Amino acid sequence: MKYFEYVEPKNLIEACQFLSQNEGAKILAGGASLVVLLKNNLVRPSHLVNLKTIPGLDTIRWDDQEGLKIGPLNRHRDILFSPLVQKHCPILAEAASKIAAPPIRNMGTIGGNLCHGEPSADFPPALIAVGAKLKLLSPKGERIVPIEKFFVDFYETILSESEILVEIHIPPLPPRTAGTYIKLDKITNSIAIVGVASVISLDEKGVCTFAGMGLGGVAPTPLKVEKAEKILLSKQIEEGHIDQVAKEAQAISNPITNVYASDEYRKEMVYVLTKRVLKESLKKALSM
């Protein structure tokens, strides 16, 4: 492991400025992903910038107008057991429950999970389904991006070297909203072969007022099924609509073959799991 310097900034501005002035510096959040990369010499930073010394990055807040705001240093277990997440965005707690094992959930952070850029990560499909946005901060100021635009390629994001993810924002969802996340893996809570998340909102007559779908493990980046909204919105959802969305999800998938599964198998399971999550979300919403 290459020698590096360890830095503890007092605030976000100081952290951003340090990153902009020191090429090769890396951010340390929970360390669940970074430590593995360091040990295997896959990254060789000049500095490690520890964000855990900066107050306020591990909060979870709810606002009736703006929705749920999650700090990037919340650990996976914080998301899993947060009463606010369980009440206002239970699909995110469901995704957290399927990440690795308790030691990793006690260590890893939601911000680190997203910034690592793993295409098979569990949080992105759920966050895509609920329409989450990310607040990014750099010395040039803030910018807000939809989460599906955050990922660029395998383990690559739009973050510049001097930029920090400072907040995950989930807007308020309509009444009678239900979501489901299903993960296909070889053993319980291992890396996702395919991950599919859906969120559906219904009005009093059972007509769809909101629909969101996210996919993981089936392309170089997590994917949003854009046409799901067009197919499902303003309709009483029927089997034919669900089949249309499943075919669309399958069509946009571009999986690879690796030691976990073939591309053909992944593509077929996208269709199967999309139908399954939509039916389960619809069932939950109808029962509300």
Quote the pLDDT of residue 171. Answer: 97
CATH code, domain carrying 193 = 3.30.390.50
Distances (CA, A) of 83 to 61, 77, 281, 288: 11, 12, 21, 19
Judge whether 140 lies within some domain: no
> Of 52, 69, 89, which marks where a domain is finished?
52
Judge whether 216 lies within some domain: yes
Q: How many angstroms separate the CA atoms of 21 and 95, rounded?
A: 36
**Mean pLDDT (whole number) for 9-17:** 92
> Of 13, 30, 52, which marks where a domain is finished?
52
Contact criterion met (CB below 8 Å) for 199 and 104: no
More confident residue, 79 or 35: 79
CATH code, domain carrying 15 = 3.30.43.10
Structural domain boundaries, residue 247: 177-286
Q: How many angstroms separate the CA atoms of 10 and 235, rounded?
A: 51
Q: How many CB atoms lie within 10 A of CB 138?
A: 18
Q: How many angstroms separate the CA atoms of 84 and 61, rounded?
A: 8
* Minimum mean pLDDT range among 66-70, 160-164, 207-211: 160-164
Quote the pLDDT of residue 1. Answer: 55
**pLDDT tens, residue by residue, 123-153:** 999 999 999 999 999 999 999 999 999 999 9
pLDDT band at 254 (very low <50, low <70, confident <90, very high): very high
Residue 59: HSE in the Cβ half-sphere, 13 Å Cα cutoff: 12
Mean pLDDT over the full length of the chain: 92
Q: Count of domains in the chain? A: 2
pLDDT band at 47 (very low <50, low <70, confident <90, very high): confident
